[in-house]
Amino acid sequence: MNTILDFLGSDHRACDDLFASAESAIAQKNWDGARTLFDQFQAAMSHHLTMEETVLFPAFEARTGNTVGPTQVMRMEHEQMRGLMQDMAGAVAAGDRNAYLGLSETLNMLMQQHNLKEENMLYPMSDQVLSGNRDDLIRSMQAVA
Amino acid sequence: MSTQAGLSFEQAPPFSLPLQFFLSAPLFLLAAALLIVLDPASLASRWTPQALALTHALTLGFLAMAMLGALMQMLPVVAGSPLPRPRAVAWLAQVPLALGTLSLMAGFLAAEPIAFGIAVALLGVGFAVFLAAAAVSLVRATGNVTVWGMRLAVLSLLLTFMLGLALALMRAGTWIPPASAAALAAHLAFGLLGWVLLLVVGVAFQVVPMFQITPPYPPPLGRWLTPGLFVLLLIHAAAPALPARVATLVEAGLAAGILLFAVTTLALQARRRRKLPDVTLDFWRLGMASLIASVTVWTVAQFSPAWADSDAYTLLLAVLFIGGFGVSVVNGMLYKIVPFLAWFHLQAQLQARAGSIPTMKDMIAEGRTRWQFRFHLTACGLLTVGLFWPLLVRTGGLMLALSALLLQINLLSALRRFYRHGGRFI
Protein backbone atom coordinates (compact mmCIF):
# COMPACT_ATOMS: atom_id res chain seq x y z
CA MET A 1 0.00 0.00 0.00
CA ASN A 2 1.00 3.61 -0.58
CA THR A 3 2.14 6.08 1.99
CA ILE A 4 -0.09 9.01 2.90
CA LEU A 5 2.54 11.22 1.25
CA ASP A 6 2.26 9.29 -2.05
CA PHE A 7 -1.51 9.12 -1.96
CA LEU A 8 -2.30 12.74 -1.12
CA GLY A 9 0.80 14.13 -2.86
CA SER A 10 -0.26 12.63 -6.18
CA ASP A 11 -3.76 13.99 -5.62
CA HIS A 12 -2.14 17.46 -5.33
CA ARG A 13 -0.57 16.90 -8.76
CA ALA A 14 -3.94 15.88 -10.20
CA CYS A 15 -5.55 19.05 -8.80
CA ASP A 16 -2.68 21.19 -10.16
CA ASP A 17 -3.23 19.66 -13.57
CA LEU A 18 -6.93 20.54 -13.64
CA PHE A 19 -6.13 24.00 -12.26
CA ALA A 20 -3.71 24.66 -15.14
CA SER A 21 -6.13 23.32 -17.76
CA ALA A 22 -9.01 25.49 -16.51
CA GLU A 23 -6.82 28.57 -16.28
CA SER A 24 -5.48 28.11 -19.77
CA ALA A 25 -8.98 27.67 -21.24
CA ILE A 26 -10.07 30.88 -19.51
CA ALA A 27 -6.98 32.76 -20.66
CA GLN A 28 -7.95 31.81 -24.22
CA LYS A 29 -11.59 32.76 -23.52
CA ASN A 30 -12.70 29.27 -24.43
CA TRP A 31 -15.68 29.59 -22.08
CA ASP A 32 -17.43 26.31 -22.87
CA GLY A 33 -14.32 24.28 -22.17
CA ALA A 34 -13.49 26.55 -19.23
CA ARG A 35 -16.78 25.90 -17.45
CA THR A 36 -16.36 22.11 -17.67
CA LEU A 37 -12.70 22.22 -16.62
CA PHE A 38 -13.35 24.63 -13.77
CA ASP A 39 -16.17 22.41 -12.46
CA GLN A 40 -13.83 19.42 -12.59
CA PHE A 41 -11.12 21.37 -10.80
CA GLN A 42 -13.49 22.58 -8.11
CA ALA A 43 -14.86 19.07 -7.57
CA ALA A 44 -11.35 17.59 -7.31
CA MET A 45 -10.29 20.25 -4.82
CA SER A 46 -13.40 19.86 -2.75
CA HIS A 47 -12.84 16.10 -2.65
CA HIS A 48 -9.22 16.55 -1.60
CA LEU A 49 -10.02 19.04 1.16
CA THR A 50 -12.83 16.83 2.46
CA MET A 51 -10.57 13.76 2.59
CA GLU A 52 -8.13 15.68 4.75
CA GLU A 53 -10.69 17.38 6.97
CA THR A 54 -12.84 14.34 7.66
CA VAL A 55 -10.26 11.54 7.74
CA LEU A 56 -6.60 12.57 7.99
CA PHE A 57 -6.79 15.60 10.29
CA PRO A 58 -9.05 13.98 12.91
CA ALA A 59 -6.81 10.89 12.97
CA PHE A 60 -3.68 13.06 13.27
CA GLU A 61 -5.25 15.18 16.01
CA ALA A 62 -6.42 12.11 17.94
CA ARG A 63 -2.99 10.48 17.69
CA THR A 64 -0.93 13.56 18.63
CA GLY A 65 -3.48 15.11 21.00
CA ASN A 66 -2.88 18.40 19.23
CA THR A 67 -5.87 20.22 17.73
CA VAL A 68 -4.42 23.73 17.66
CA GLY A 69 -1.20 22.88 15.82
CA PRO A 70 -0.52 22.29 12.14
CA THR A 71 -3.98 20.93 11.29
CA GLN A 72 -5.61 24.12 12.51
CA VAL A 73 -3.43 26.18 10.15
CA MET A 74 -4.20 23.78 7.30
CA ARG A 75 -7.95 24.09 7.95
CA MET A 76 -7.66 27.87 7.94
CA GLU A 77 -5.86 27.84 4.60
CA HIS A 78 -8.51 25.48 3.22
CA GLU A 79 -11.11 28.13 4.04
CA GLN A 80 -9.02 30.77 2.25
CA MET A 81 -8.88 28.50 -0.81
CA ARG A 82 -12.61 27.89 -0.73
CA GLY A 83 -13.21 31.63 -0.61
CA LEU A 84 -11.02 32.19 -3.66
CA MET A 85 -12.62 29.30 -5.57
CA GLN A 86 -16.08 30.66 -4.85
CA ASP A 87 -15.07 33.99 -6.40
CA MET A 88 -13.45 32.17 -9.32
CA ALA A 89 -16.75 30.37 -9.93
CA GLY A 90 -18.41 33.81 -10.00
CA ALA A 91 -15.84 35.05 -12.52
CA VAL A 92 -16.41 31.99 -14.73
CA ALA A 93 -20.20 32.53 -14.58
CA ALA A 94 -19.76 36.21 -15.46
CA GLY A 95 -17.22 35.44 -18.20
CA ASP A 96 -14.75 37.83 -16.54
CA ARG A 97 -11.29 36.72 -17.71
CA ASN A 98 -9.22 39.31 -15.83
CA ALA A 99 -11.01 38.80 -12.54
CA TYR A 100 -10.45 35.05 -12.87
CA LEU A 101 -6.74 35.37 -13.66
CA GLY A 102 -6.13 37.67 -10.67
CA LEU A 103 -7.86 35.18 -8.39
CA SER A 104 -6.19 32.13 -9.93
CA GLU A 105 -2.70 33.63 -9.53
CA THR A 106 -3.49 34.20 -5.86
CA LEU A 107 -4.95 30.72 -5.43
CA ASN A 108 -1.90 29.14 -7.08
CA MET A 109 0.50 30.77 -4.60
CA LEU A 110 -1.73 29.94 -1.64
CA MET A 111 -2.28 26.38 -2.80
CA GLN A 112 1.38 25.69 -3.65
CA GLN A 113 2.83 27.01 -0.40
CA HIS A 114 0.12 25.02 1.40
CA ASN A 115 1.08 21.87 -0.52
CA LEU A 116 4.74 22.39 0.35
CA LYS A 117 3.92 22.49 4.04
CA GLU A 118 1.80 19.36 3.75
CA GLU A 119 4.24 17.40 1.59
CA ASN A 120 7.35 18.50 3.51
CA MET A 121 5.92 18.22 7.00
CA LEU A 122 2.37 17.14 7.68
CA TYR A 123 2.18 14.06 5.42
CA PRO A 124 5.59 12.62 6.43
CA MET A 125 4.67 13.25 10.07
CA SER A 126 1.33 11.54 9.53
CA ASP A 127 3.03 8.56 7.88
CA GLN A 128 5.21 8.34 10.96
CA VAL A 129 2.68 8.76 13.78
CA LEU A 130 -0.16 6.90 12.01
CA SER A 131 1.97 4.08 10.57
CA GLY A 132 -0.11 1.44 12.43
CA ASN A 133 -3.38 2.12 10.62
CA ARG A 134 -2.12 3.85 7.51
CA ASP A 135 -3.72 1.42 5.07
CA ASP A 136 -7.13 1.78 6.74
CA LEU A 137 -6.81 5.56 6.65
CA ILE A 138 -6.05 5.58 2.94
CA ARG A 139 -9.00 3.26 2.32
CA SER A 140 -11.26 5.61 4.31
CA MET A 141 -10.02 8.55 2.25
CA GLN A 142 -10.64 6.66 -0.98
CA ALA A 143 -14.20 6.01 0.24
CA VAL A 144 -14.92 9.73 0.67
CA ALA A 145 -17.54 10.67 -1.90
CA MET B 1 12.91 13.63 11.27
CA SER B 2 11.85 15.34 14.45
CA THR B 3 8.12 15.50 15.08
CA GLN B 4 8.59 18.54 17.29
CA ALA B 5 10.08 20.57 14.45
CA GLY B 6 7.14 20.05 12.16
CA LEU B 7 4.68 21.08 14.83
CA SER B 8 5.87 24.65 14.77
CA PHE B 9 5.19 25.40 11.13
CA GLU B 10 2.02 27.32 11.73
CA GLN B 11 3.23 30.84 12.04
CA ALA B 12 4.49 33.05 9.28
CA PRO B 13 6.42 36.03 10.74
CA PRO B 14 4.53 39.34 11.06
CA PHE B 15 4.33 41.13 7.67
CA SER B 16 6.44 44.10 8.79
CA LEU B 17 9.53 41.96 9.47
CA PRO B 18 10.37 40.59 6.00
CA LEU B 19 9.17 43.92 4.56
CA GLN B 20 11.83 45.75 6.48
CA PHE B 21 14.41 43.78 4.47
CA PHE B 22 12.54 43.93 1.15
CA LEU B 23 12.05 47.70 1.26
CA SER B 24 15.63 48.57 2.14
CA ALA B 25 17.13 46.35 -0.59
CA PRO B 26 16.14 48.50 -3.63
CA LEU B 27 17.71 51.56 -1.99
CA PHE B 28 21.11 49.85 -2.14
CA LEU B 29 20.50 48.92 -5.76
CA LEU B 30 19.84 52.60 -6.35
CA ALA B 31 23.02 53.55 -4.46
CA ALA B 32 25.07 51.20 -6.64
CA ALA B 33 23.50 52.66 -9.78
CA LEU B 34 24.22 56.23 -8.65
CA LEU B 35 27.89 55.39 -8.08
CA ILE B 36 28.06 54.28 -11.71
CA VAL B 37 26.23 57.37 -12.96
CA LEU B 38 28.41 59.76 -10.96
CA ASP B 39 31.62 58.15 -12.13
CA PRO B 40 31.38 55.75 -15.08
CA ALA B 41 35.13 55.14 -14.75
CA SER B 42 34.26 53.12 -11.61
CA LEU B 43 34.00 50.11 -13.86
CA ALA B 44 37.43 50.61 -15.44
CA SER B 45 38.93 48.12 -13.00
CA ARG B 46 37.68 45.77 -10.30
CA TRP B 47 39.98 47.49 -7.82
CA THR B 48 38.66 51.06 -8.06
CA PRO B 49 37.18 52.19 -4.71
CA GLN B 50 33.88 52.83 -6.50
CA ALA B 51 33.80 49.32 -7.98
CA LEU B 52 34.42 47.77 -4.56
CA ALA B 53 31.81 50.02 -2.93
CA LEU B 54 29.15 49.33 -5.53
CA THR B 55 29.84 45.60 -5.55
CA HIS B 56 29.14 45.47 -1.81
CA ALA B 57 26.07 47.67 -2.21
CA LEU B 58 24.79 45.02 -4.62
CA THR B 59 25.86 41.89 -2.75
CA LEU B 60 25.27 42.96 0.86
CA GLY B 61 22.78 45.79 0.48
CA PHE B 62 20.57 44.33 -2.22
CA LEU B 63 21.13 40.57 -2.51
CA ALA B 64 21.86 39.58 1.09
CA MET B 65 19.26 42.03 2.41
CA ALA B 66 16.46 40.61 0.28
CA MET B 67 17.63 37.01 0.68
CA LEU B 68 17.68 37.22 4.48
CA GLY B 69 14.14 38.64 4.42
CA ALA B 70 13.04 35.83 2.09
CA LEU B 71 14.71 33.18 4.28
CA MET B 72 12.85 34.50 7.29
CA GLN B 73 9.60 34.11 5.36
CA MET B 74 10.37 30.76 3.75
CA LEU B 75 11.81 28.81 6.68
CA PRO B 76 8.40 28.03 8.20
CA VAL B 77 7.01 27.01 4.80
CA VAL B 78 9.79 24.81 3.41
CA ALA B 79 11.50 23.71 6.60
CA GLY B 80 8.65 23.75 9.10
CA SER B 81 10.87 25.74 11.37
CA PRO B 82 10.48 29.50 11.88
CA LEU B 83 13.32 31.71 13.13
CA PRO B 84 13.24 31.99 16.91
CA ARG B 85 12.41 35.47 18.30
CA PRO B 86 11.68 36.86 14.81
CA ARG B 87 11.05 40.44 15.86
CA ALA B 88 14.34 40.81 17.75
CA VAL B 89 16.24 38.96 15.02
CA ALA B 90 14.81 41.14 12.25
CA TRP B 91 15.74 44.40 13.96
CA LEU B 92 19.14 43.25 15.20
CA ALA B 93 20.06 41.88 11.78
CA GLN B 94 18.51 44.35 9.35
CA VAL B 95 19.56 47.65 10.94
CA PRO B 96 23.22 46.63 11.48
CA LEU B 97 23.32 45.10 7.99
CA ALA B 98 22.07 48.34 6.41
CA LEU B 99 24.34 50.61 8.43
CA GLY B 100 27.28 48.21 8.16
CA THR B 101 26.96 48.11 4.37
CA LEU B 102 26.92 51.92 4.26
CA SER B 103 30.05 52.08 6.45
CA LEU B 104 31.79 49.54 4.28
CA MET B 105 30.95 51.55 1.16
CA ALA B 106 32.25 54.68 2.90
CA GLY B 107 35.38 52.77 3.89
CA PHE B 108 36.12 51.87 0.29
CA LEU B 109 35.23 55.29 -1.12
CA ALA B 110 37.17 57.32 1.46
CA ALA B 111 39.89 54.72 2.17
CA GLU B 112 39.06 55.38 5.78
CA PRO B 113 40.28 52.78 8.32
CA ILE B 114 37.73 53.85 10.96
CA ALA B 115 34.85 53.22 8.54
CA PHE B 116 36.14 49.67 7.96
CA GLY B 117 36.28 49.18 11.72
CA ILE B 118 32.69 50.36 12.16
CA ALA B 119 31.55 48.25 9.20
CA VAL B 120 33.16 45.13 10.63
CA ALA B 121 31.54 45.68 14.03
CA LEU B 122 28.06 46.35 12.60
CA LEU B 123 28.12 43.57 10.01
CA GLY B 124 29.50 41.26 12.68
CA VAL B 125 26.52 41.96 14.95
CA GLY B 126 23.99 41.69 12.11
CA PHE B 127 25.33 38.43 10.71
CA ALA B 128 25.99 36.89 14.13
CA VAL B 129 22.36 37.48 15.14
CA PHE B 130 20.86 36.25 11.90
CA LEU B 131 23.20 33.28 11.47
CA ALA B 132 22.65 32.13 15.05
CA ALA B 133 18.87 32.30 14.60
CA ALA B 134 19.04 30.60 11.20
CA ALA B 135 21.27 27.88 12.65
CA VAL B 136 18.74 27.13 15.40
CA SER B 137 15.96 26.96 12.83
CA LEU B 138 17.89 24.91 10.27
CA VAL B 139 19.23 22.41 12.80
CA ARG B 140 15.73 21.50 13.96
CA ALA B 141 14.27 21.67 10.43
CA THR B 142 12.91 18.70 8.55
CA GLY B 143 15.63 17.81 6.04
CA ASN B 144 14.76 18.10 2.34
CA VAL B 145 16.64 19.30 -0.74
CA THR B 146 15.75 22.94 -0.11
CA VAL B 147 16.70 22.77 3.56
CA TRP B 148 20.07 21.33 2.53
CA GLY B 149 20.56 24.16 0.05
CA MET B 150 19.73 26.65 2.78
CA ARG B 151 22.06 25.01 5.30
CA LEU B 152 25.00 25.06 2.90
CA ALA B 153 24.18 28.60 1.74
CA VAL B 154 24.05 29.89 5.32
CA LEU B 155 27.34 28.12 6.11
CA SER B 156 28.85 29.77 3.02
CA LEU B 157 27.59 33.15 4.21
CA LEU B 158 29.38 32.59 7.51
CA LEU B 159 32.63 31.71 5.68
CA THR B 160 32.21 34.71 3.37
CA PHE B 161 31.84 37.00 6.35
CA MET B 162 34.85 35.56 8.19
CA LEU B 163 37.03 35.96 5.10
CA GLY B 164 35.61 39.44 4.49
CA LEU B 165 36.44 40.31 8.08
CA ALA B 166 40.07 39.36 7.53
CA LEU B 167 40.18 41.42 4.33
CA ALA B 168 38.56 44.44 6.02
CA LEU B 169 41.02 44.31 8.92
CA MET B 170 43.78 44.30 6.35
CA ARG B 171 42.30 47.40 4.69
CA ALA B 172 41.89 49.04 8.07
CA GLY B 173 45.63 48.47 8.49
CA THR B 174 45.31 46.56 11.74
CA TRP B 175 46.31 43.13 10.53
CA ILE B 176 47.92 41.55 7.51
CA PRO B 177 46.46 38.09 6.87
CA PRO B 178 49.03 35.53 5.74
CA ALA B 179 47.45 34.64 2.38
CA SER B 180 45.46 37.64 1.25
CA ALA B 181 45.11 36.60 -2.41
CA ALA B 182 43.77 33.18 -1.39
CA ALA B 183 41.46 34.81 1.18
CA LEU B 184 40.11 37.15 -1.46
CA ALA B 185 39.49 34.30 -3.93
CA ALA B 186 37.71 32.27 -1.27
CA HIS B 187 35.68 35.30 -0.12
CA LEU B 188 34.41 35.75 -3.68
CA ALA B 189 33.75 32.05 -4.26
CA PHE B 190 31.86 31.43 -1.01
CA GLY B 191 29.92 34.69 -1.34
CA LEU B 192 28.79 34.30 -4.94
CA LEU B 193 28.88 30.56 -5.66
CA GLY B 194 28.17 29.50 -2.07
CA TRP B 195 25.72 31.91 -0.47
CA VAL B 196 23.98 33.37 -3.54
CA LEU B 197 24.01 30.41 -5.92
CA LEU B 198 23.35 27.61 -3.42
CA LEU B 199 20.42 29.47 -1.89
CA VAL B 200 18.91 30.17 -5.31
CA VAL B 201 19.42 26.54 -6.39
CA GLY B 202 17.90 25.16 -3.17
CA VAL B 203 14.92 27.49 -3.39
CA ALA B 204 14.49 26.88 -7.14
CA PHE B 205 13.89 23.17 -6.48
CA GLN B 206 10.66 24.16 -4.73
CA VAL B 207 9.52 27.41 -6.34
CA VAL B 208 10.23 26.86 -10.05
CA PRO B 209 7.78 23.93 -10.27
CA MET B 210 5.24 25.74 -8.11
CA PHE B 211 5.01 29.15 -9.78
CA GLN B 212 4.35 27.90 -13.32
CA ILE B 213 3.40 24.28 -12.57
CA THR B 214 6.31 22.57 -14.30
CA PRO B 215 7.54 18.98 -13.88
CA PRO B 216 9.78 18.61 -10.81
CA TYR B 217 13.60 18.76 -11.02
CA PRO B 218 15.11 15.26 -11.46
CA PRO B 219 15.54 13.90 -7.89
CA PRO B 220 19.27 13.04 -8.31
CA LEU B 221 19.95 16.66 -9.25
CA GLY B 222 18.15 17.82 -6.11
CA ARG B 223 20.11 15.40 -3.98
CA TRP B 224 23.59 15.94 -5.38
CA LEU B 225 23.88 19.41 -6.87
CA THR B 226 24.10 21.60 -3.77
CA PRO B 227 26.36 19.28 -1.72
CA GLY B 228 28.49 18.66 -4.83
CA LEU B 229 28.96 22.37 -5.48
CA PHE B 230 29.74 22.99 -1.82
CA VAL B 231 32.43 20.30 -1.72
CA LEU B 232 33.96 21.77 -4.89
CA LEU B 233 33.98 25.19 -3.20
CA LEU B 234 35.84 23.75 -0.21
CA ILE B 235 38.47 22.23 -2.49
CA HIS B 236 38.57 25.47 -4.47
CA ALA B 237 39.38 27.39 -1.28
CA ALA B 238 42.42 25.15 -0.84
CA ALA B 239 43.40 25.63 -4.50
CA PRO B 240 46.59 27.65 -3.86
CA ALA B 241 48.00 24.57 -2.15
CA LEU B 242 46.99 22.27 -5.01
CA PRO B 243 48.52 21.68 -8.47
CA ALA B 244 47.18 24.15 -11.06
CA ARG B 245 45.61 21.32 -13.04
CA VAL B 246 43.49 20.26 -10.04
CA ALA B 247 42.35 23.85 -9.50
CA THR B 248 41.23 24.06 -13.12
CA LEU B 249 39.37 20.76 -12.80
CA VAL B 250 37.56 22.04 -9.72
CA GLU B 251 36.56 25.20 -11.55
CA ALA B 252 35.37 23.09 -14.47
CA GLY B 253 33.24 21.07 -12.06
CA LEU B 254 31.68 24.24 -10.67
CA ALA B 255 31.03 25.54 -14.19
CA ALA B 256 29.42 22.23 -15.19
CA GLY B 257 27.16 22.27 -12.12
CA ILE B 258 26.06 25.84 -12.84
CA LEU B 259 25.39 25.01 -16.48
CA LEU B 260 23.39 21.92 -15.53
CA PHE B 261 21.23 23.94 -13.14
CA ALA B 262 20.58 26.76 -15.62
CA VAL B 263 19.79 24.47 -18.55
CA THR B 264 17.53 22.20 -16.47
CA THR B 265 15.64 25.20 -15.10
CA LEU B 266 15.07 26.64 -18.58
CA ALA B 267 13.98 23.23 -19.88
CA LEU B 268 11.48 22.78 -17.04
CA GLN B 269 10.13 26.28 -17.54
CA ALA B 270 9.67 25.54 -21.25
CA ARG B 271 7.41 22.63 -20.20
CA ARG B 272 5.31 24.76 -17.82
CA ARG B 273 1.55 24.22 -17.64
CA ARG B 274 0.77 27.89 -16.93
CA LYS B 275 1.59 29.73 -20.13
CA LEU B 276 0.39 33.18 -19.06
CA PRO B 277 2.81 36.12 -19.29
CA ASP B 278 4.62 36.41 -15.97
CA VAL B 279 7.28 38.96 -15.13
CA THR B 280 8.88 36.71 -12.49
CA LEU B 281 9.39 34.07 -15.17
CA ASP B 282 11.11 36.66 -17.38
CA PHE B 283 13.45 37.65 -14.53
CA TRP B 284 14.28 33.98 -13.91
CA ARG B 285 14.97 33.34 -17.57
CA LEU B 286 17.27 36.33 -17.74
CA GLY B 287 19.00 34.99 -14.63
CA MET B 288 19.50 31.54 -16.15
CA ALA B 289 20.69 33.01 -19.47
CA SER B 290 23.22 35.11 -17.51
CA LEU B 291 24.50 31.98 -15.74
CA ILE B 292 25.01 30.28 -19.09
CA ALA B 293 26.78 33.40 -20.37
CA SER B 294 29.04 33.41 -17.27
CA VAL B 295 30.03 29.80 -17.91
CA THR B 296 30.72 30.63 -21.57
CA VAL B 297 32.94 33.57 -20.61
CA TRP B 298 34.82 31.35 -18.14
CA THR B 299 35.28 28.67 -20.82
CA VAL B 300 36.74 31.15 -23.31
CA ALA B 301 39.21 32.30 -20.64
CA GLN B 302 40.52 28.74 -20.29
CA PHE B 303 41.79 28.94 -23.86
CA SER B 304 42.97 32.53 -23.81
CA PRO B 305 45.38 33.38 -20.96
CA ALA B 306 45.53 37.03 -22.08
CA TRP B 307 41.76 37.34 -21.72
CA ALA B 308 41.83 35.47 -18.41
CA ASP B 309 44.32 37.98 -17.01
CA SER B 310 42.45 41.06 -18.18
CA ASP B 311 40.38 43.30 -15.94
CA ALA B 312 37.51 43.10 -18.41
CA TYR B 313 37.21 39.33 -17.86
CA THR B 314 36.64 39.58 -14.10
CA LEU B 315 34.35 42.57 -14.50
CA LEU B 316 32.32 40.79 -17.18
CA LEU B 317 31.87 37.76 -14.92
CA ALA B 318 30.80 40.09 -12.11
CA VAL B 319 28.25 41.97 -14.23
CA LEU B 320 26.81 38.71 -15.59
CA PHE B 321 26.73 36.85 -12.30
CA ILE B 322 25.79 39.57 -9.82
CA GLY B 323 23.64 41.77 -12.04
CA GLY B 324 22.38 39.35 -14.66
CA PHE B 325 21.85 36.36 -12.38
CA GLY B 326 21.63 37.42 -8.72
CA VAL B 327 19.80 40.72 -9.02
CA SER B 328 17.40 39.33 -11.67
CA VAL B 329 16.31 36.29 -9.69
CA VAL B 330 15.90 38.20 -6.43
CA ASN B 331 14.00 40.99 -8.19
CA GLY B 332 11.66 38.44 -9.80
CA MET B 333 11.06 36.72 -6.48
CA LEU B 334 10.12 40.02 -4.82
CA TYR B 335 7.26 40.35 -7.32
CA LYS B 336 5.80 37.05 -6.12
CA ILE B 337 6.55 37.29 -2.41
CA VAL B 338 5.46 40.86 -1.64
CA PRO B 339 2.05 40.80 -3.44
CA PHE B 340 1.29 37.36 -2.00
CA LEU B 341 2.14 38.41 1.54
CA ALA B 342 0.10 41.60 1.12
CA TRP B 343 -2.90 39.51 0.07
CA PHE B 344 -2.32 36.80 2.66
CA HIS B 345 -1.98 39.11 5.65
CA LEU B 346 -4.87 41.32 4.49
CA GLN B 347 -7.14 38.30 4.19
CA ALA B 348 -6.04 36.92 7.54
CA GLN B 349 -6.30 40.25 9.37
CA LEU B 350 -9.72 41.18 8.02
CA GLN B 351 -11.05 37.63 7.76
CA ALA B 352 -12.27 39.06 4.47
CA ARG B 353 -14.17 37.20 1.85
CA ALA B 354 -11.75 36.87 -1.05
CA GLY B 355 -13.79 39.00 -3.46
CA SER B 356 -13.81 42.02 -1.16
CA ILE B 357 -10.03 42.53 -1.18
CA PRO B 358 -7.57 43.04 -4.06
CA THR B 359 -6.02 39.88 -5.53
CA MET B 360 -2.26 39.39 -5.80
CA LYS B 361 -2.40 40.77 -9.33
CA ASP B 362 -4.16 43.95 -8.17
CA MET B 363 -1.39 44.68 -5.67
CA ILE B 364 1.12 45.95 -8.27
CA ALA B 365 0.11 47.17 -11.73
CA GLU B 366 1.44 44.54 -14.13
CA GLY B 367 2.47 47.11 -16.75
CA ARG B 368 4.77 48.82 -14.29
CA THR B 369 6.52 45.58 -13.32
CA ARG B 370 7.07 44.96 -17.01
CA TRP B 371 8.62 48.42 -17.46
CA GLN B 372 10.89 47.75 -14.55
CA PHE B 373 11.98 44.48 -16.17
CA ARG B 374 12.78 46.37 -19.39
CA PHE B 375 14.90 48.94 -17.49
CA HIS B 376 16.73 46.13 -15.69
CA LEU B 377 17.32 44.18 -18.90
CA THR B 378 18.60 47.30 -20.67
CA ALA B 379 20.87 48.11 -17.73
CA CYS B 380 22.37 44.59 -17.82
CA GLY B 381 22.91 44.85 -21.58
CA LEU B 382 24.45 48.33 -21.53
CA LEU B 383 26.74 47.58 -18.58
CA THR B 384 27.94 44.38 -20.26
CA VAL B 385 28.71 46.08 -23.55
CA GLY B 386 29.97 49.11 -21.63
CA LEU B 387 32.96 47.09 -20.38
CA PHE B 388 34.23 47.20 -23.97
CA TRP B 389 32.66 50.49 -25.01
CA PRO B 390 32.84 52.76 -21.93
CA LEU B 391 30.64 55.42 -23.53
CA LEU B 392 27.61 53.25 -22.64
CA VAL B 393 28.39 52.83 -18.95
CA ARG B 394 26.71 56.02 -17.74
CA THR B 395 23.48 55.23 -19.61
CA GLY B 396 23.64 51.70 -18.18
CA GLY B 397 23.95 53.17 -14.69
CA LEU B 398 21.03 55.47 -15.38
CA MET B 399 18.86 52.54 -16.49
CA LEU B 400 19.84 50.65 -13.34
CA ALA B 401 18.85 53.67 -11.25
CA LEU B 402 15.48 53.87 -13.00
CA SER B 403 15.00 50.16 -12.50
CA ALA B 404 15.81 50.36 -8.77
CA LEU B 405 13.52 53.35 -8.30
CA LEU B 406 10.64 51.71 -10.12
CA LEU B 407 11.14 48.49 -8.15
CA GLN B 408 10.82 50.45 -4.91
CA ILE B 409 7.74 52.33 -6.20
CA ASN B 410 6.15 49.07 -7.27
CA LEU B 411 6.75 47.40 -3.91
CA LEU B 412 5.40 50.46 -2.11
CA SER B 413 2.30 50.45 -4.30
CA ALA B 414 1.47 46.97 -3.00
CA LEU B 415 1.77 48.24 0.55
CA ARG B 416 -0.40 51.25 -0.22
CA ARG B 417 -3.16 48.92 -1.44
CA PHE B 418 -2.73 46.74 1.60
CA TYR B 419 -3.01 49.74 3.92
CA ARG B 420 -5.93 51.37 2.08
CA HIS B 421 -7.95 48.18 2.36
CA GLY B 422 -7.52 48.17 6.09
CA GLY B 423 -4.33 46.12 6.47
CA ARG B 424 -2.12 46.94 9.45
CA PHE B 425 1.65 46.56 9.70
CA ILE B 426 1.98 44.54 12.86
Domains of chain A: 4-143 (1.20.120.520)
Interface test with A, best of B8, B144, B205, B210 (most A CBs within 10 A): B210
Between B177 and B360, the higher pLDDT residue = B360
Last residue of a domain, one of B142, B158, B178: B142
B6 contacts A121 by C-beta, under 8 angstroms: yes
* pLDDT value, residue B143: 78
Last residue of a domain, one of B142, B165, B197: B142
The letter for the amino acid at B136 is V
Q: Is A143 on the interface with B (CB under 8 A)?
A: no
Residue B165 domain-assigned?
Answer: no
Residue B158 domain-assigned?
Answer: no
What is the number of structural domains in chain B?
Answer: 2
What pTM does this model have? 0.94
Encode pLDDT of B72-121 as tens digits. Answer: 999 988 888 889 999 999 999 999 999 999 999 999 999 889 999 999 99
A 29-88: CB under 8 A from B? 64, 66, 69-70, 72-73, 76, 80, 83-84, 86-87
Residue B198 domain-assigned?
Answer: no
Taking residues B319-329, what's their average pLDDT? Answer: 98
* pLDDT value, residue A2: 85
Residue B355 domain-assigned?
Answer: yes
* pLDDT value, residue B304: 94
Taking residues B30-37, what's their average pLDDT? Answer: 97
Encode pLDDT of B340-360 as tens digits. Answer: 999 999 998 888 766 689 999
Interface test with B, best of A15, A116, A122 (most B CBs within 10 A): A116
Residue B46 domain-assigned?
Answer: yes
User: Cα distance from B222 to chain A (closest Cα, Å)?
Assistant: 14
Among B315-319, B345-349, B381-385, the least confident range: B345-349
Residue B209 domain-assigned?
Answer: no
Taking residues B357-384, what's their average pLDDT? Answer: 97
User: Cα distance from A116 to chain B (closest Cα, Å)?
Assistant: 6
* pLDDT value, residue B1: 34
Q: Which of A90, A109, A121 sits opposite B360 (nearest CB)?
A: A109
Q: Which domain covers residue B280, as residue numbers?
A: 276-426
Residue B159 domain-assigned?
Answer: no
Residue B29 domain-assigned?
Answer: yes
pLDDT surpasses 70 at B177: no
Give B70's pLDDT tier (boundaries 50, 70, 90): very high
* Dist CA A25 CA A28 (whole Å): 5
User: Cα distance from B155 to chain A (closest Cα, Å)?
Assistant: 22
Last residue of a domain, one of B142, B161, B186: B142
A37 contacts A25 by C-beta, under 8 angstroms: yes
Chain B residues near residue A130 by CB distance under 8 angstroms: none
A113 contacts B74 by C-beta, under 8 angstroms: no
Do B6 and A101 count as a contact with CB atoms less than 8 A apart? no
Encode pLDDT of B7-20 as tens digits. Answer: 334 568 999 999 99
A116 contacts B146 by C-beta, under 8 angstroms: no
User: Cα distance from B6 to chain A (closest Cα, Å)?
Assistant: 6
B225 contact partners, CB below 8 Å, separation of at least 6: B201, B257, B260, B261
Residues B281 and B426 in one domain: yes
